[in-house]
Amino acid sequence: MPGPAESLAGQFTEQRKTVPPVQLLSNEKPSKGERTRQRILEIAQASVLAKGFAATSIEEVIAEAGITKSGFFYHFRDKNELAREMLRRYVAENDDVFDEIFGRAAELTDDPLQRFLLALKLLSELSRDLPGGHPGCLVASICYQERLFDPQVLELNTSSVLRWNARFLGYIEDIAAVYPPREPIALEDLARALTCIFDGAIIMAKALKDPGQLERQVLAYRTLVKTLFSR
């Protein structure tokens, strides 16, 4: 029989299939300039994840976007400014995913352990539904090539990871307040392990050409949390 988190995850998955997305009550549409800017960021991110920042040239981004060089520099002063905005966009997209999934889990159950287990289940299902697997982690890509970036990019990268760690730690501290862990463990390390699993599983999936790695590693972490805190 499925547990509470599994049942709630199934309900949420079915709702996502049948309920149409919420439409914002706004007639505002992005301007042509904003659409061009977002297109540049999309192209640059795909290229950086595929072959790295050093191998991504402004010229190829311009050609793919179908704009002039002056058009590119209208939006971005240089390659480091492009990197900063690309990273902000990437982090915001990930924050939106976490907000939706953990927020929805909080709506479905008040129990902090079941809430966290449900969110991990939903994250695993989300990773399974990605066509061809996760495209890669921009944060990790910047870490591997940090000499190419200015201090602002590196500081933004660090602060993003610290924010995600703090988010996960908050969830785990809520669990530990109700369900003391069965084994001694530093809660901060357990929280950081989830961030490590996301990035590590993406690397493992690419190295082994196995797109299911992320889903399975998130579920393995979920089993660890369930075993550690269940009464």
Which tokens go with 96?
A: 């939106």
pLDDT confidence of residue 49: 87
pLDDT at 16: 47
CA 94/CA 100 separation, integer angstroms = 10
Written as six digits, the tokens of 103 are 């927020």
pLDDT, position 227: 96
pLDDT given for residue 2 in this prediction: 53
> What one-character-per-residue DSSP string does 162-206 give?
HHHHHHHHHHHHHHHHHS--SS---HHHHHHHHHHHHHHHHHHHH
pLDDT (tens digit per residue) in 13-48: 554 443 333 333 445 677 888 899 999 999 999 999
The least confident of 98-107, 204-213, 214-223 is: 204-213
Q: Which residue has the tokens 């505002």?
A: 28
The pLDDT of residue 1 is 45
- Say what the pLDDT of residue 10 is: 55
154 burial type by CB count under 10 A (0-12 exposed, 13-18 middle, 19+ buried): middle
pLDDT in the model for residue 131: 62
pLDDT at 145: 86
Average pLDDT, the chain: 86
Q: Which amino acid is at 79?
A: K
Q: What is the pLDDT of residue 165?
A: 96
Look at residue 199 and tell me whether its pLDDT is greater than 80.
yes
Longest alpha-carbon distance in the chain: 63
Write out pLDDT tens, residues 92-118: 999 999 999 999 999 999 999 999 999
Q: Residue 73 corresponds to which tokens in the numbers above?
A: 């520099």
Instruction: Give the whole-angstrom CA distance, residue 205 versus residue 221.
Output: 16
Nearest residue to 218 via CA among 58, 101, 75: 101
Residue 230 reports pLDDT greater than 50: yes
Look at residue 143 in the predicted model and tell me its pLDDT: 87
Tell me, what's the pLDDT at 20?
34
Structure confidence at residue 89 as a pLDDT band (50, 70, 90): very high
Closest CA to 177 of 116, 222, 218, 134: 116
Q: Are 117 and 12 in contact (CB under 8 A)?
A: no
Degrees to nearest 5, angle at CA 171 with 230 and 152: 145
Q: Which are the contacts of 11, defined by CB distance < 8 A and separation ≥ 6?
A: 108
Dump pLDDT digits (tens) for 3-13: 665 555 555 55
Strands (E), 76-165: none
At 204, which amino acid appears? M
pLDDT tens for residues 45-73?
A: 999 988 888 899 999 999 999 999 999 99
Residue type, 84: R
3-state secondary structure of 218: helix
Query: pLDDT digits over 117-164, tens only?
Result: 999 999 999 888 776 667 788 888 888 888 889 999 999 999 999 999
CA-to-CA distance for 32 and 49, rounded, in angstroms? 26
